[in-house]
Amino acid sequence: MEAPPVTLMPGQQGNPFMLRARRSLLHPTAPWHLRYQGQLEVADKSRHALVRNCVDVAAWHSLPEFLNEMGFRMDHEFVAKGQVFRKGAMKVVVSKLLRVLLSVLAPAGQDTVSEDMRSFAEQLKPLVHLEKIDPKRLM
């Protein structure tokens, strides 16, 4: 199981670019992987696939804090469970995307937390679908 690939974008003005950070949930001591994907190259009718430059690097455990300090913000995250197949330079990932449950713990009397959560979920649509879950069904 791998999680969460996080797409990050700089919070400042200028030409936005995205970095993707991912890590293994099964091996928490394994390094993070940081990926920069360049722009798509001009379409060439003789090619059967889109082409773009890509740079992958292994990173240390404090990568999220480092990227946050650099001004990047998280755009979205998900959990993927699957297999990676390699043939030469080609790597094919076959995976299933899993939902990440969003929950909030708040002290008694903090009724504004539910409204804050609803507002936050609205900002993340269509990635987040806020719904009430019956705790009895979880058991």
pLDDT single digits (tens) 52-98:
888 999 998 899 889 888 888 777 778 888 998 999 888 888 988 88
Examine the domain organization and report whether 113 and 49 are in the same domain: no
Q: Which domain holds residue 131?
A: 101-139
State the total domains in the chain. Answer: 2
Contact 65, 73 (CB under 8 A): no
CA distance 1 to 22: 11
49 confidence band (pLDDT: 50, 70, 90): confident
- Tell me: the pLDDT tens digits for 4-25? 455 555 555 556 677 889 998 8
Examine the domain organization and report whether 68 and 83 are in the same domain: yes
Which residues, 6+ apart, have CB-to-CB distance to 96 below 8 Å? Answer: 80, 81, 82
Longest CA–CA separation in the chain, Å:
64
Residues pairing with 37 in the sheet: 54
Contact 27, 11 (CB under 8 A): no
pTM of this prediction? 0.59
Examine the domain organization and report whether 25 and 90 are in the same domain: yes
Examine the domain organization and report whether 24 and 38 are in the same domain: yes
- Tell me: the pLDDT tens digits for 101-139? 666 677 777 778 778 878 877 877 777 777 776 666 654
pLDDT for the residue numbered 58: 94
